[in-house]
Amino acid sequence: MTNASRTDVTPILHVDHLDKEVDSGERRLTILSDLRLTVFPGESVAILGQSGAGKSTLLGLLAGLDAPTRGELALFGQSLAALDEDGRARLRAGRVGFVFQNFQLLPTLTALENVLLPLELSPQPDAEQRAREWLTRVGLGERLDHLPKQLSGGEQQRVALARAFVTGAELVFADEPTGNLDPATGERIIEALFDLNHQAGTTLVLVTHDHALARRCDRCLHLEGGRLVERMPEEVSA
Amino acid sequence: MSQPTRMAKGSRMLRLSARGLIRDLRAADVRALFMALALAVAASTMIGFFLDRLDRGLTRQAGQLLGGDLVLEQSRPFDTELRRTLEEAGLTLSDQVDMVSMVRHDQAFQPASLKIVDSVYPHYGQNRVDLGEGVEPLAHGPSPGEVWLAPRLALLLEVAVGDSVQVGQMELEVGGLIEREADQSAGFGSFNPRLMMHIDDMDATDLVQEGSRVEYELLAAGPAEAVARVAPLVERLRRDGVEVQDVSRDRPQLGSALERAEKYLSLAGLAAVLLAGVAVAMATRRYVDRHLDTAALMRCFGATQAELTRLFSLQLLWLALAASAVGAVLGLVGQAALLRLLSTFLSLELPPPGLLPLLMGVFTALAVLVGFAGPTLLRLKKVSALKVLRRELDPLPASAWLVLAMASLVFGGLLWLYSGDLWLSVGLLVGGLVMLGVLWGLGSLLLGGVLRLASALPRRGGQEGGLAQALRLGGQQLARRRSASLGQLLAFSVTFFAMAMIVMVRGDLVSTWQEQLPEDTPNYFAINIQPAEREAFAEVLEGAADARSALYPMVRGRITAINDQDPREAVPAESRSDHALRRELNLTWQDSLPEGNRVVAGKWFDELENEAGWYSEVQAEASVERVPISMEDGLAERFGLALGDTLTFTIGSAEVVGELTSLRSLNWDSFRPNFYVIFPPGVLERFGHSYITAFHLEDGESETQRRLVQEFPGVSLLNVDAILGQVRDVLTQVTRAVELVLGFVLLAGVSVLYAALTASRPVRAHESGLLRVFGASNRLLARVQGAEFAILGLASGLMGALLAELAAAAIYVVWLDLVPRVHWGMWLTLPLGGALLIGAIGQLLSRGLRRQAPAASLSLLGEA
């Protein structure tokens, strides 16, 4: 149970009494139980938890990729329960960015084309120019025409970062962004992520099991036994 | 290992493989493999069953179809001496006369193909005739005084059993309607309906005059030893110009058409097998990818490479056998449909389907598996057990060149097996690979164009960007998945091309050819005009016909020597079975060069007069060793003849030797009487002859036709339009049969699409999931997929239209000597039809993918 009281500002994310259950053979498994969360614009929030705690499930719900079993969930002030799948997709377009653990670049597209992908669904003037600029910002201005297989892991994740921010997203979800990278590269990616986030003024929701990374965020939430518990960043031990 | 242990291990492997396959049946790639193999077997067994039944039916009834065990044919009656020799050898003889003549009833008249039989007919089998109380089998022909008509002739003359018809000078009663004749002699390929009558009535009809175009047949039946006994005599007769058909050597008239049908239908069926092979190759890639983890795990548990290979090979063997069973059933249904479509030409009782085509079908399925899937399957053998810990440790994919080489080798083998012609197979394989390269290049250009066009479409705002957004994303997806898209593009282009050619041949070819003929092109031929009737006939035509050719005299003669050699030895090998050597030629004489002919070498007869002077000697009917003759240049080229070469003609019992003094080119499409060989006047007049002419009558000139038929009952009027109409009908029926085969080819093309979808499923799921994460609605995803398939169909239609247009132009120019034209309708229908068809099928097949889009996007989260 967590909250920050800013009554004058609409939360970018608001979750209340949220449950998620799934069928597993003959049993019903409770993944998340009575979850509450409010995130305001501009905040950076880390969600910590061990493997299997339900972090990815929570992320999917927060992003509107999945529907809860019970409870309320509002994104950008709009209740997701009132929307069907297509409605939730429309809500995401151009406003939500993603950074995945496995980069999730399309192998047949160049770096530039991968960054342009979200702009196909939320077109903006000078889309290609924007994409080039973002790739330059992440240090890949010379690698626009390279395919993912020609890029290192760190470089691929930097492309993914550019892709996440190119639409001017208000909210960025990062799912274990350094999970597949060595520590040194991971550190560079995190620096880039927070740097871009700060420049763009986006809200960041970060799912990780890395406590050091979590401490860099404004808020730290622990997913334990299907529930969220907020702790101060400095209380998060290494 | 002891025997029992080996057996136990073997049966365990069989059970394991069967269980594995059953569990796997829900996988899309296994379904795609099944579908492709079943189609390959269906196509090959359909044609295999059909041809095998036909072959066995013809062989079994060869004697019946021929009308005897030995059949002799010439244009004059057979002498008594020959008859006595054959009878003494132990053969029973039956006489038959064939000719074309007009048959009349009141105001109606039709040319009919007369079959004049004796009381011995038929040697074998039975006629099926309706004598007025239903069709019944009869082991005899019509009695004197009566005729049997083909139902079509009765319809055209508006007569029924019991009515009378006029044949020549005689009136005969319609005694029955022939549903099926005991033999097929002269039946196939004749466009005039049948009239059968007794030989005792022939003289009274007065149809047989000197020079009339009549074929006399002597049908001999008896044991093989009796036929063998007269072999030397028969050989002598052959050399003397008598046409001989021996049931032990020659196939009935249908036989040569059947041999060609065997070759080309088999090749058409192999097109379906080829496409199925491509589908197998694509589906196998996915199958192998899916089983890599399983294989790694089994290696961890102690399976050897050999055991792994055996396990997966057995699974696929079960699959191939199951697919063969389904394919064979489809093939049985298909061959029944083929027989029904071609029933007009095949009025035979056929034996039931045999086992051999089924075994060939199974063999084809296994060959396709080995050839198209083998190299890819070997990856499973190479999986390392370490892959369970290091997931990225996949064995390298099979080299594309190895896959192509293996597939080409196996497919080449199948081509040879089915066509029986090594060089044709090699030619087709090499030509096919070259075409593949060319089409691949063309297709790559087309896909590049699609990418550029799609990328040029504007990025529309929001979710409802509509058609432009869908086309943009769909086109980009299609173009970026290059190899798979090219494979599908080629498969569908070739299928659409083949279907377009069929439609063109059926509808367009004959009518375009007719349209390009001049307006007053003759539409009637008159044959068997007697010398005494010539002037009167010309007079009737004078006032009535718009345009007419001259009346040409005609004598029947056979080439019996070339430069004093046996003609078959004197001509090049490929011309030995030329019809001009096998049959009597129509010889004519002219003093001036006929209309439409042009001398291309040597000199015409009147020019020779000035040089050698012996032209006038010929006119005086002095006996000369060689007379000058003029030959059509195409025939001279086929026979390898030049000016100065001599040809010996046997006319009746006399011989005439001619020396080539000129070669002519002529237009065979002119619908004027055209002649291979022309003599000067004064040489052939002493032989029995008749006249032939061609003329143009307007539709409303039926009065002229009636007058001609009434005043000249011995003359046959052949309506060219009616014949062309029947040609068109025959083409329609035959092309319908080919269309059935092409239907399987199209289904095989769809199996390529299905296999491509299954192979690209993980990639498509990834893309759809990602697009959905970025805000694409399900409706947009559906539209994008639909656009992708529609563009594929459109591009395939365009390429198919291009190939068809080029092929048609080549046929027009090279073969038909016509001006090629653009088929605008095809350029519209093929691309649009392709877009609709492939778009719809693709949408249907990718439904499952769209349902999984939400799950696909969720699977992007966490560890992949």
CA-nearest residue of chain B to A207? B862
What band does A19 get if pLDDT is binned at 50, 70 and 90? very high
| pLDDT score for A89 | 84
- Residues B50, B51, B53, B58, Cα dihedral to 10°: 140
User: Worst-scoring range by mean pLDDT, A105-109, B6-10, B53-57, B255-259?
Assistant: B255-259
Cβ neighbours of B788 in A, within 8 Å: none
In chain B, positions 777-796, which contact chain A (CB-CB < 8 Å)?
Answer: 777-780
Question: Is A126 an interface residue toward B (CB < 8 Å)?
Answer: no
Cβ neighbours of A104 in B, within 8 Å: 766, 770, 860, 864
CA-nearest residue of chain A to B483? A108
Chain A and chain B share a number of CB contacts under 8 A equal to 95
User: For helices B761-773 and A111-121, what crossing angle results, to 10°?
Assistant: 60
In the predicted structure, residue B504 carries a pLDDT above the cut 90: no
Higher pLDDT, B499 or B154: B154
Question: Is B860 an interface residue toward A (CB < 8 Å)?
Answer: yes
Q: Rounded distance, CA B287 to CA B316, Å?
A: 10
- CB contact under 8 Å between B459 and A120, yes or no, is yes
Structure tokens at B366: 């296994």
Residue from A31, A109, A119, A120 whose CB has the most chain B CBs within 10 Å, to mutate:
A120
Residue from B460, B777, B861 whose CB has the most chain A CBs within 10 Å, to mutate:
B861
Residue from B463, B476, B774, B850 whose CB has the most chain A CBs within 10 Å, to mutate:
B774
Question: Is B766 an interface residue toward A (CB < 8 Å)?
Answer: yes
- CB contact under 8 Å between B778 and A59, yes or no, is no
Q: Which amino acid is at B473?
A: L
Q: Rounded distance, CA A103 to CA B144, Å?
A: 96
| pLDDT score for B584 | 81
φ/ψ of B676, rounded to 5, equals: -65, -45
| pLDDT score for B324 | 94
Q: What is the mean pLDDT of residues B66-93?
A: 89
Per residue in B448-467, pLDDT (tens digit) is 999 899 888 877 655 556 78
Question: Bridge partners of A22?
Answer: A29
- In chain B, % helix, strand, coil (3-state, to 5) comes to 60, 15, 25
- CB contact under 8 Å between B862 and A56, yes or no, is yes
Per residue in B622-670, pLDDT (tens digit) is 455 788 999 999 999 999 999 999 999 988 778 899 999 999 998 877 7
- CB contact under 8 Å between A121 and B463, yes or no, is yes
The rounded mean pLDDT for chain B is: 83
| pLDDT score for A3 | 46
B68 three-class SS:
coil
| pLDDT score for B295 | 82
Q: Rounded distance, CA B335 to CA B42, Å?
A: 10
- Under a CB-based contact definition with an 8 Å cutoff, are residues B708 and B539 in contact? no
In the predicted structure, residue B189 carries a pLDDT above the cut 50: no
What band does B107 get if pLDDT is binned at 50, 70 and 90? confident
Nearest to B774 among A56, A59, A121 (CB): A121
Q: Rounded distance, CA B461 to CA B831, Å?
A: 29
- CB contact under 8 Å between A109 and B480, yes or no, is yes
Question: Bridge partners of B218?
Answer: B72, B95
Query: How far is the alpha carbon of A66 from chain B, nearest alpha carbon, in Å?
Result: 8
Question: Is A49 an interface residue toward B (CB < 8 Å)?
Answer: no
Question: Is A147 an interface residue toward B (CB < 8 Å)?
Answer: no
Q: What is the mean pLDDT of residues B82-99?
A: 93
| pLDDT score for B757 | 80
CA-nearest residue of chain A to B861? A56
E strands present in B633-728: 646-651, 654-666, 677-679, 690-696, 716-719
| pLDDT score for B378 | 83
Cβ neighbours of A109 in B, within 8 Å: 480
Cβ neighbours of B473 in A, within 8 Å: 120
Cβ neighbours of B771 in A, within 8 Å: 117, 121
Nearest to B776 among A89, A91, A102 (CB): A89
Nearest to B858 among A66, A107, A123 (CB): A66
Per residue in B332-349, pLDDT (tens digit) is 999 999 888 877 666 667
ipTM of model: 0.84
Cβ neighbours of A66 in B, within 8 Å: 854, 858
Query: How far is the alpha carbon of B284 from chain A, nearest alpha carbon, in Å?
Result: 21
What band does B320 get if pLDDT is binned at 50, 70 and 90? very high
Query: How far is the alpha carbon of A46 from chain B, nearest alpha carbon, in Å?
Result: 15
Please state, in angstroms and as integers, the Cα–Cα distance from residue B846 to each residue in B717, B782, B842, following that order. 62, 9, 6
Please give the angle made by the CA atoms of B151, B157 and B158, to the nearest 5 degrees: 80
In chain A, positions 186-215, which contact chain B (CB-CB < 8 Å)?
Answer: none
In the predicted structure, residue A5 carries a pLDDT above the cut 60: no
In terms of C-beta distances under 8 Å and separation of at least 24 residues, what long-range contacts does B706-712 make, across chains too? B706/B107, B706/B109, B707/B540, B708/B526, B708/B537, B708/B540, B709/B102, B709/B104, B709/B109, B711/B536, B711/B540, B712/B529, B712/B533, B712/B536, B712/B537
Nearest to B473 among A91, A108, A120 (CB): A120
Question: Is B107 an interface residue toward A (CB < 8 Å)?
Answer: no
- CB contact under 8 Å between A89 and B775, yes or no, is yes
Question: Is A226 an interface residue toward B (CB < 8 Å)?
Answer: no
Per residue in B753-804, pLDDT (tens digit) is 888 888 887 888 888 888 888 888 888 888 888 999 999 999 999 999 999 8
Contacting residues for A23 by C-beta, under 8 A, at least 6 apart? A29
Give the single-character DSSP code of B324. Answer: H
- CB contact under 8 Å between A121 and B776, yes or no, is yes
Question: Is A104 an interface residue toward B (CB < 8 Å)?
Answer: yes
φ/ψ of A227, rounded to 5, equals: -120, 155
- CB contact under 8 Å between A94 and B862, yes or no, is no
- CB contact under 8 Å between A118 and B775, yes or no, is yes
| pLDDT score for A180 | 84
Residue from A65, A96, A208 whose CB has the most chain B CBs within 10 Å, to mutate:
A65
What band does B188 get if pLDDT is binned at 50, 70 and 90? very low
**Residues written for chain A:** 238
Give the single-character DSSP code of B701. Answer: -
Please state, in angstroms and as integers, the Cα–Cα distance from residue A48 to each residue in A175, A210, A213, B114, B469, following that order. 11, 8, 10, 100, 39
User: Worst-scoring range by mean pLDDT, A179-188, B60-69, B180-189?
Assistant: B180-189
CA-nearest residue of chain B to A160? B770
Q: Please give the helix or strand (H or E) that residue B363 lies within, else none.
A: helix B356-368
Nearest to B860 among A89, A100, A123 (CB): A100
- CB contact under 8 Å between B858 and A60, yes or no, is yes
CA-nearest residue of chain A to B461? A123
Per residue in B822-842, pLDDT (tens digit) is 889 999 999 999 999 999 988
Q: What is the mean pLDDT of residues B142-154?
A: 93
Q: What is the mean pLDDT of residues B288-314?
A: 81
Per residue in A165-180, pLDDT (tens digit) is 999 999 999 988 888 8
Cβ neighbours of A92 in B, within 8 Å: 773-775
Nearest to B857 among A65, A91, A122 (CB): A65
| pLDDT score for A1 | 40
| pLDDT score for A142 | 93
Highest-confidence segment of B181-195, B337-351, B803-817: B803-817
In chain A, positions 151-190, which contact chain B (CB-CB < 8 Å)?
Answer: 175-176, 179
Q: What is the mean pLDDT of residues A80-99?
A: 87
Question: Is B392 an interface residue toward A (CB < 8 Å)?
Answer: no
- CB contact under 8 Å between B862 and A176, yes or no, is yes
Cβ neighbours of A54 in B, within 8 Å: none
Residue from A59, A86, A128 whose CB has the most chain B CBs within 10 Å, to mutate:
A86
Residue from B482, B771, B773, B784 whose CB has the most chain A CBs within 10 Å, to mutate:
B773
Nearest to B480 among A56, A102, A108 (CB): A108
